Amino acid sequence: MLEVKNLTFKVKENGIDRSIVEDISFTVENGEMLVITGPNGGGKSSLAKVLMGIEKADSGQIILDGEDISAYDIDHRANAGIGYAFQQPPRFKGMTVERFLSLAAGRPLTENEVCKMLSGVGICAREYLKREVDGTLSGGEMKRLEIATVLAKAHKLCIFDEPEAGIDLWSFSMLVNQFEKIHKKKEEMLILISHQERIIRMADRIMVIEDGRIKTIGPKDEVLPALLDKGPVCTCMEC
Ligand SMILES: Nc1ncnc2c1ncn2[C@@H]1O[C@H](COP(=O)(O)OP(=O)(O)OP(=O)(O)O)[C@@H](O)[C@H]1O
């Protein structure tokens, strides 16, 4: 179980503190999928980065399966069982796709295993094994590869930041299938940040973040109708 208690993250703007994440508390149960949505600039990615340890919280607590991980750095949180796929994945010149996935899995993978992982996110496998994880990969290829790195290993908690961004229709359907498969097993907690209705519909619970605060959190059946009425959710396949 993930317990987030009174999490606040501030930045300095022109010498003045600005709260990007303000006193946010929520839980994610084992096997649960929580989808976080809300208007652009609301603080969703910042919250994810604070959970992963990329940004440091000013106050609050993060407890994973009873272990207080608030003071842990990124590596330590990854070892504690958190996997994270960036909204805009970083690139690694000189590293092959094959090695990148083996590092993510934490063990040497066979070619067949790498191919299976790549196929799972809609990447035409063998052609990519020796490609470098650099600027020669397209945005959509990089995004899918990044998602494959999180899926390469079992985690307690996986966080995917806008997995739909820049992904074509066919690959998007494959990704949705992957998320559904993990969700069905109920072995990992999933936090998906998304504006995409098809992803939001997979949620057990939905959390809406606006101006750095939780605006609503609740079961999908309660939150989604109001969301669809008001319309911050995107039904197109391009964003
Ligand atoms: N390190 C930083 N320094 C200054 N401002 C920041 C920093 N990180 C985020 N912000 C600001 O905090 C706000 C929240 O950004 P964040 O990326 O978390 O929003 P978001 O909800 O993920 O948005 P989107 O839906 O557009 O991806 C934005 O106004 C952003 O410009």
DSSP class per residue in 174-203: HHHHHHHHHHHHT-SEEEEE--BHHHHTT-
46 lines ligand 1 (CB under 6 A): yes
Which residue, 155, 207, 218, 150, is CA-closest to 185? 155
pTM of the shown model: 0.90
Position 126 confidence tier, pLDDT thresholds 50, 70, 90:
confident
Spatial neighbors of 111 by CB under 8 A, at least 6 apart, are 98, 126, 129
41 lines ligand 1 (CB under 6 A): yes
Note the residue count of the chain: 239
ipTM score assigned to the predicted complex: 0.96
Tens-digit pLDDT profile for residues 180-204: 988 998 889 999 999 999 999 999 9
44 lines ligand 1 (CB under 6 A): yes
Kindly compute the dihedral angle of the four CA atoms of residues 124, 181, 43, 221, in this order, to the nearest 10 degrees.
Answer: 140
Residue among 20, 37, 88, 159 whose CB has most ligand 1 atoms within 8 A, to mutate: 20
- Written as six digits, the tokens of 81 are 């069982």
CATH 3.40.50.300 fits 2-87+157-230, yes or no: yes
Tens-digit pLDDT profile for residues 133-182: 998 998 888 888 988 999 999 999 999 999 988 888 888 888 898 899 88
Residue 208's φ and ψ, nearest 5 degrees, are -105, 125
